[in-house]
Structures are given as structure tokens and as C-alpha cells.
Structure 1
Amino acid sequence: MTTTSAVKTYLNYIDGTWTNSCSDKTYGSINPANKHEIVGYIQVSSQKDLDGAVKAAKNAKKAWRKLSGAARGEFLYKVADIMEKRIEDISQTMTREMGKTLPEAKGETARGVAILRYYAGEGMRKIGDLIPSTDSEALMFTTRAPLGVVGVITPWNFPVAIPIWKMAPALIYGNTVVLKPAQETSVTAVKVIECFHDAGLPKGVVNLVTGSGSVIGQGLIHHKDINGITFTGSDQVGKKVGEGAFARGAKYQLEMGGKNPVIVAADADLDLAVEATISGGLRSTGQKCTATSRVIVLSEVYDEFKQKLIEKVKEIKAGNGLENDTWMGPCASESQLNSVLSYIEKGISEGATLLYGGKRLTDNGLDHGFYIEPTVFENVSPSMTIFQEEIFGPVLALIKVDSLETAVEVANDVKFGLSASIFTRNIGNMLSFIEDMEAGLVRINAESAGVELQAPFGGMKQSSSHSREQGQAAIEFFTSIKTVFVKA
């Protein structure tokens, strides 16, 4: 591994101050497009560092809660303005650290700005209702109380949008925050928190502690002064988060895996369906919880769809996300690359037919990064691992079916239920899909990936703890209803 003295060391942010960890150890964040490049050094924090951050958040929560929603919103507006001016720097950092293409990184950062402004406006909305009392001389109403200190644990695939869509509602509703970002994208997280610092938020309201999940993540889950945990990541880790939080009575919110289908009906616009399947399944190198993974196609159009899909997949150029002609970047880390390759081998060994791709890319300097070919399988059965498990990579599994009813049954035949889409011109098909699909997000004639920030987001079955993020639905997790009865 090569580096230079110009590589910066990034600090924790605790009680309004940038500080070294107590361990005095750092970790090099590697560019997945070039494993020899270190993007920056981050703190390897200890339980003592976390305790300091939680204490700061606890001390700050009373004064922050007592501010009006409008006043808290003004701070979020300032953060948004600062972030908007820094989109180029934050986006380039994201691309260098996580690997997604620069246009995708810019789009995600702009989304973060929009989320901040949306929730800033929420500070002016009502937080309760007037309820008639049976006592004519009494007043009864509801209001909302913040949880207190919220632990935020976020993944590496959306290192700007996900932390912000958790922190912004937490803050506007009167909570203070301790953020534990993924190690792989901690430099990007620091860039985000710098915007909060420079907006002048009171000390302790927002805190950042970087480090391992086994120390900082576990520490947040079990900390007696953390009142709520909001987590996005794998279902295996999410279950542990929920168990730990439940054991001590803390509120928890889990957004976990997906194995998202697209159904292509016999009357579908095939060109549109192909475009959306590729975009939904292969952009961000398939590293989205809502990415298309299973492509369920009616037999009447299967061969034509397959031909069109393979032709388009062959046109994809993988490379460094900072290069203008790159369509798909690398996997985010070597471990993620190896995981995807192992799933591909599993698909082959279990009898699926590899139509295209499936290999690590090493030509033209790509051997320095964690690149993989976009991959397409067919003859996939519901019992196969690549049908059932989340791969989190650029792998599509084609399944041929004879009826729409069978397509929906096949689509539902997994433990996940995050997102799903269908391509059809028939209103009856649309309505049946909406009614019968077991997913928290269903989309018609659009890719499975993506949801607008003002709309609730979350999954069914084992994709979530059955709560919802984003939009006005976020208030349900970050606050508790308080019923008030006033008798003169």
C-alpha cells in the first residue's frame, strides 16, 4: 500500500470539538478503484470515546429540545446551504472512498441537501391534535416528545443520504445524535458533519465517532443513555441491533436487506423494462438495498427481453467513478468483491446458467481495484442461493414464468419484502400487483430502486422492523405521543 504525507487524518466530533480517539490509533480508508490509494485516515475509537459522545449528547438534549421547531429548522437550513456549496468536494470524496460514479455521488449529495430542507420545514408543522373531552371544562390534546439521545448506525452504500435522512428528522423533532458511520466511508461522514459544525449547531447536539461495529456499534446498542437506535445494514446485524435494544427497553428502527424483483408482463414496453432493469440492478454496482436482483419475465416475451438485456449489459463500461465515461464503478471493498464472486460461484455450482459476466475485471489497470463484470444468470430456480439471498452486487437472475399469478408468487417467495416493480400496460395487472405484492415499496413501469424523500420508506417481512423512514412518517420513530389533559 502506498501513501504520501499529504494524506489527511480525520478526527471524531464530540461536544462541538474535533478530537483524536483515546486509542491514538487510525485506520486507512482505501479507494476501491485503486487499493494503493488511501483517501484518509480515520479514528479507531474506543468505548471511552463513545461514552464522551453520548455524555455530550445527553447534556445537550434539554436545551435543544426547548428550542422551537422553527429555530431547529433554521439550523438545518444553514447546514443545507453549506452542503450545497460543497457538493463537488463531498461527491468526489464519496466516489474516491466508496466507488460509485461521480454523477451518482453528486445526485446523492444533492438529495442530502433536499432532505435537510424538507425536514427544516417540518419544524413549522403541527405535532399534535386537539381531542374532545367528555369534561366540558377541560382541554385535551396530544403533543410529541423526542426520544432523547439517538444512536445512528449507517452503511457504506449511501454515505451521505442515509445519515442525513436519519439525522435530519431526529434533530428537527428535538433529539440529539451520535453517528457511527461505516468504516469504509468515514471520511465522507466527516465531510458531512463538518457542514453541521460550520452551521453553528450547539455543542453536543451532533456527535461523530468512527470505528468498528464490534466496539462503537455494539457500544451504542447497549449504552444505557442511548434512548433510540436507527440502523440500516444487513438483516443479520440488524437482528442483533434489535435484540440488544429490546433487552434494555430502547426504541429501535431497522432497515435491512432486500431481494427485489421486477416483473415483466407480456404487454410490457420491453425497451423501458430493459433500461429500468439495468439501471435498478447494476447502477452503484448493485450495492443498493432496493436494487433489482430477480427479473421475472413472462414466457411470451422472455427470449426477446433476454436478447435486449444482454445487448445493453455488454455496453456497460466499468472503471474509476471519477472518469467521465465510466458507467459502473468498483465494489466498495475487497471483502464485498469476494462476497459477490462467491455468490456467482454458488450460482454456477447450483446449476444456474451464466449468460454473461461473472469474472473479476483486471485489464487496463483495473487489477488495482475491486472491479467485477456485470453478471446475468438464467435457469434460476427459487431454491437457489442466488434467488434467495441478497448479493449486493451487479448480478441479475432471470426467471421465466407462464402467468402473472405465478410471477407474483415467485416474487413473494423470499424472506425479504423491500421493493418491487412491474412493467405492464394493463390496469388490471397493475392493481393485482399492488394488492398482492409483499413489499413496502411497489413501483409501476419504473425501476425497483429509489423512493422520493417526502414519501415513507421501509420494508415488509425481514427487510425491516416494520417502521418507516423519510417523509412525515419519520416522526413516528423519533418521538413519542404525549396526551395532555388540562382542567382549569
Structure 2
Amino acid sequence: MESRNWIGGEWSTPKGGEMTVYNPSDTKQEVGVLHLSQADDVLQAGDAARRALPGWAGLTWAQRGEHLYRLAAALEAHADEIATLASTEMGKPISEMRGEVTRGIHLLRYYAAEGVRAIGQVIPSTQSQVLQYTKRVPLGVVGIITPWNFPVAIPIWKIAPALICGNTVVWKPAETASLTATRLVELFAEAGLPGGVLNLVIGTGSTAGSALIEQVELDGVSFTGSTATGKHVAAICASRNIKYQTEMGGKNAAIVLADADFKTTIPALVSGAFRSAGQKCTATSRIIVEESVYDQLAAALRDAVKDLYVGHALDPKSYLGPVASKAQFEKVSSYVRMADQAEVVARGTAQVDPASGHYVLPTVVAGVGVDHPLVQEEIFGPVTALLPARGVDEAIELCNKTVYGLSAAIFTQDLSNAIRFLEEAEAGMVRVNLETAGVEYQAPFGGMKWSSSHTREQGQAALDFYSQVKTCAVYYGG
């Protein structure tokens, strides 16, 4: 397969270079070729989005909703094809990837339904014979920059609310997810989405991404990726007075108190830490355990991790597959070497030759201090650190000892400790007896501190970002 750009309703092959994509489950297999955009391609996409804006914004919300329903039907009809392509391209196990595609279908239908919901409110006026009300109106042209770890769900949870609010979009996906992005847009084009409403540009962050945020006439930018890049995006957008949201890193903690039910706790910890090979911003990368059950929990994790099935992404038995790319493998492996110098509490085994792909074995590490890189830095791989705590006070303190604040969880049967955690944990998503990952699509998604730029994605909160409020007043007296 080869990538293409979709600009103004027409397909084109950019000439800014090529990149070969290899299957991370089997690095001898070539999956496809990316054709990379130059700055001029991105500017053309921005112009196409600007030209399409009046027509798209001029549709009723219900008409835009009908388009989203058609996109959902197209994705549903090709769900297994998209899941297989994405798993092959970036290594997420097919069982998880099918669930992600289903989430994308649900997101499209969720936002399609906004076409017949209220878009404002009536506000009483102090003046007689005056009707005063608010209404949502589009931002305009929105730039969307998405990562590779959720190649279907994250783009859709940005694009769908942007479109229903009447915006047009220029989408720059991560290179490691660009074949999947191309096929998604092919489906959306076949479903009748008008030309210029959604424009796809394939390219690197340094060229295509920079041109998008620095040169295209934009009214909004939604970015998900690393904290360093997110800071740069925010600075550029602020200097250009562009509304922006940045979803960045996480160093999420799960607290296990002495009264935790291990039948609930262990599967949740393992899933949170190792599903998607730990490549989630909401992954459980710190496990804080009350001292009285520390040894018991470590033993339970050891038993659970050794039985995890590490295999090819298309093997339905695989609990986790490879990490997404060679660069990701090298980065995560540097943290594994740090773990090897500490105390490895648990490590899985592979059901394939680890050298055949970018496989990193699931690892639980202990014996590191709270300031150690394994405890403070986002690893984005299947490595989690175990930390003892004397009680709930120290556990919450350790939970909050990070520059990030995306997600956190506690496992306990004590309602007062659970409520205290919900109040005191410095994270945008806090959960009791549930893993740190897994926030539902109809709920707001986002964090505190350096995890997010103080807005939220998904649910009704997404509509607030992708629209602006107009206050209207009409005097109808004589």
C-alpha cells in the first residue's frame, strides 16, 4: 500500500521524499510506502479547507450529522480491514485494534447525534421585549495532529466533533499511522464527505507539522503527542492567537491499599501497564503499594506477568505485541537496561522470536527511588515501577509526585479512602478499583499539570473546544 494526500476532494502523491513502513511484528515484512509532503502541499490543504468552510458551516447541524452517520457506516463495513491494517502498521494486537475501531464507529455516531441537540440557551434579559440567547458557531479551519498509538480512535475523537461543529479540517497523522490514515480517508471520501471538508497531508512533523502550525491560516489546533512537541505547538499557536489544545504525557499511578481485592486489582494493574505494550498516555507506569501487602502483590504480579502471551499483532492470542517502531524499541530498551540494573520483580516471555520484531518483554521493576527516571519519566512501553508506601497519606503523596497529571487509580474497599483519593489526586481522570486506562468515549478526556493544556477531549467537552459562543439579542418591541 502507498500513502496519498487528499486535498480539496482530490487525491495526489506528494514529492517530498519516501519512507518505507515495516511490520513491527515481523520487521522483514514491508507494509507499504509513505510519500511525504512538502510545505506547499500543506498550504494547499489549508487553502482547500478555507474554501470549503462556508459551504460546510452553512449546512444545518442535522445535515452535518447525516454525513457523520455515513462515515460511521463506512467504517463499520470495513472494520476488520482497518483493524488488520493498523495492527500490521503499528503493532497493536488485533483483539485490541478491533475494539479501537468499534470505538471509532461509536464516536462518529455519538457526535452525529449532536446534529439534533441543543446548541445554545435562552438567557433572561433585564430589558423587556428582548430575546437573548447563545449559540455555538464554528471556529473555522482546524489543524489536527495525531499520534500513532491510537491510529483510529484519536483521529476520530478529534475530527468528528470538529466536523459536527461546522469546522473544516487539515489532518496530519503520525508517520507510523499514515497508511491507516490514508485508508480511513479513502472510506470517508467514498462515503460522500464533500471535498475540502477533511484534508489529509502525510509527512514528517518537522516539515508538514511545522508548516501546518506556522504557516497555514488556522483558527484552531488539536495536538496529541509528546510533551516537548506539545509545548512547541502551544507556543506557536499562542503567538498566532490560534485556539489550541495539547494532550501530552503521563506518568500514571495506581495505588494498592492493604484492603484491595486482588481478584480485581491484579488484572487491572496488568491491563493498565501492558496492554498496547504500555504505549498509552494513560498506561499504569507506577504501582504504589501499601507496605503490609507489598510482597504479596509483587508475587501476584510475578505470576500474572509470566503467563502473558507476547506475540505477533495478528495473533488473536496476543496480550501484547511489539512496540510500534525501531525508534520506539530503542527508546524503551534504554529504560529496560535501567530496570536490569535495579530489581526486576517480574518479566514475561515471548511466544515468538523476540529478534523477529520490535518486541519488549513486560517488566515490573523495584528497588528504585522516587526520583529515578523509571519513576519520573514517561517510558511509553511495557515497563512499570513498584513503590512501597507506609499508608494512604504517603501513597497519595507519591501519586502526586510527578510533573504529569493525566490519570490515576486506587484499589481499596474503604469508601473514605477512595473518596479522599478522588479529592486529593492531582489528575484529570481518577478511578476507583479500575485501571488507569480505559476512559469511555462519552466522558471528558484530559489531564492536569503538564499532561494537558487545560481543555478536554471527547464527550460534550469536545464541543466546547471546536466551537465558539455567540451571544445574540433581539429587541422585538414597537
SS in 1 for 2:463: helix
Give the drift of 1:372. 1.2
2:15 and 2:35 in contact (8 A); partners too:
no
Contact 2:310 2:352 in 1 (8 A): no
- Displacement, 1:292? 0.3
Question: 2:446 is matched with which residue?
Answer: 458
* 1:143-173 Cα distance to aligned partner (Å, 9 max, x none): 1121101000000000000000000000000
Q: 1:347: how far off?
A: 4.2
- 1:391 CA drift (Å): 0.2
| Counterparts of 1:159 and 1:364, CA distance in 2 | 25
Aligned length: 476
Please state whether the residue corresponding to 1:130 is helix, strand or coil: coil
Change (3 A) 1:260 1:278: same
1:81 aligned counterpart, secondary structure: helix
1:30: how far off? Answer: 1.6
The answer as to whether partners of 2:311 and 2:352 remain within 8 angstroms in 1 is no
Number of the residue aligned with 1:441: 429
Q: Is the 8 A contact 2:306 2:348 kept in 1?
A: no
Task: Give how far 1:174 is off.
Answer: 0.3
Equivalent residue for 2:396, pick from 408, 423, 446? 408
Which residue matches 1:84? 76
For 1:39, the equivalent position in structure 2 comes to: 31
CA shift at 1:222, angstroms? Answer: 1.0
- The code of the aligned residue for 1:71 comes to Q
2:137 match: secondary structure: strand
Q: What is the CA-CA distance between 1:134 and the residue it aligns to?
A: 1.7
Please tell me whether residue 17 in structure 1 is matched to residue 10 in structure 2: yes
Shift of the 474–364 alpha-carbon distance from structure 1 to 2, 3 Å rule, reads closer
Shift in Å, 1:132: 1.2
Q: Contact 1:319 / 1:327 at 8 angstroms: preserved in 2?
A: yes
Letter in 2 for 1:334: K
- Tell me which residue corresponds to 1:266: 258
Pairwise CA distance, 1:344: 2.4
CA contact (8 A) 1:170 1:177 kept: yes
Q: 1:427 aligns with which of 407, 410, 415?
A: 415
* Structure 1 range deviating more: 187-196 or 286-295: 187-196
| Aligned counterparts, 1:361-372, within 5 A | 364-372=352-360
Contact preservation (8 Å) 2:8, 2:48: yes
- 1:389 is matched with which residue? 377
Match of 2:274 in 1: 282
Q: Is the 8 A contact 1:12 1:209 kept in 2?
A: yes
Where do 5+ consecutive residues of structure 1 fail to align? Answer: 1-7
Q: CA deviation at 1:218?
A: 0.8
Contact 1:460 1:466 in 2 (8 A): yes
User: Is contact 2:288–2:395 with CA below 8 Å preserved after alignment?
Assistant: yes
Choose which of 216, 227, 237 in structure 2 pairs with 1:235. 227
- Partner Cα distance (1:89, 1:160) in 2: 12
Cα distance in 2 for partners of 1:126, 1:22 equals 45
- Offset at 1:486? 1.6
Q: How far apart are the structure 1 equivalents of 2:202 and 2:440?
A: 29
Q: Distance in 1 between matches of 2:22 and 2:310?
A: 19
* Amino-acid identity (%): 47
Q: Could you tell me the TM-score, scaled by structure 2's length?
A: 0.97
Work out whether 1:257 is the aligned partner of 2:255. no
Q: Is residue 44–residue 211 contact of structure 1 (8 Å, CA) maintained in 2?
A: yes
SS of corresponding position for 2:460: helix
Deviation at 1:345, TM superposition (A): 2.4
Are positions 1:355 and 2:345 aligned together?
A: yes
Q: Does 1:328 align with 2:320?
A: yes
2:299 paired with 1:307: yes
Give unmatched runs, 5+ long, in structure 2.
Answer: none
Which of residues 190, 203, 218 is equivalent to 2:210? 218
CA contact (8 A) 2:185 2:200 kept: yes
1:467 Cα offset (Å): 0.1
- Deviation at 1:271? 2.6
* Shift of residue 77, structure 1, vs aligned partner: 0.3
SS of 1:422's partner is: strand
Output the CA distance in 1 between the equivalents of 2:429 and 2:396: 15
Q: Secondary structure at the match of 2:65?
A: helix
CA displacement 1:53-102 (0-9 Å, x = unmatched): 11110000111001000000000000101100101100000110010110
1:189-211, CA deviations, whole angstroms, 9 ceiling, x for partnerless residues?
Answer: 11211221011011100010001
Name 1:114's counterpart in structure 2.
106
Cα RMSD, aligned residues only: 1.3
Give the Cα–Cα distance (whole angstroms) in 2 for the partners of residues 325 and 348 of structure 1. 28
Q: Is the 8 A contact 1:33 1:366 kept in 2?
A: no
Read off the aligned partner of 2:430 and give its amino acid letter. Answer: V
User: Structure 1 residue 355: deviation in Å?
Assistant: 2.2
How far, CA to CA, are the matches of 1:417 and 1:393 in structure 2?
18
Supply the distance in 2 between the matched residues of 1:10 and 1:474 (Cα, whole angstroms).
29
Residues 295 and 317 of structure 1: CA distance in aligned 2, closer, same or farther (over 3 Å): same
Cα deviation, 1:299-348, whole Å, max 9, x if unaligned, reads: 11111111011111001121111113222100101111111111222345
Q: Distance in 1 between matches of 2:216 and 2:28?
A: 41
Structure 2 CA distance, aligned partners of 1:22 and 1:72? 33
SS, match of residue 150 in structure 1 = strand
Number of the residue aligned with 1:52: 44
Question: Could you say which residue in structure 2 is the equivalent of 1:130?
Answer: 122
Is 1:468 the counterpart of 2:468 in the alignment? no
Query: Aligned to 2:32, what secondary structure does the other structure show?
Result: strand
Deviations 1:330-389 (A, max 9, x none): 01011111111112223455xx32223399x6x854312100111111122111011011
Question: Does the CA-based 8 Å contact 1:73-1:120 persist in structure 2?
Answer: yes
Q: For residue 309 of structure 2, give the secondary structure of its aligned residue in structure 1.
A: coil
The TM-score with structure 1 as length reference comes to 0.95
CA distance in 2, matches of 1:425, 1:476: 36
1:274 and 1:364 map into 2 onto residues whose CA distance is: 25
The one-letter amino acid of 1:437's match is: A
Is the contact between residue 347 and residue 384 of structure 1 (CA under 8 Å) also seen in structure 2? Answer: no
Q: AA paired with 1:337?
A: F
Aligned to 2:472: 484
Contact 2:310-2:320 at 8 Å conserved across structures = yes
Q: Verify the 8 A CA contact 2:43 2:212 in the aligned structure 1.
A: no
Tell me which amino acid in the other structure corresponds to 1:97: E
Secondary structure, counterpart of 1:386 in structure 2? helix
Pairwise CA distance, 1:11: 1.0
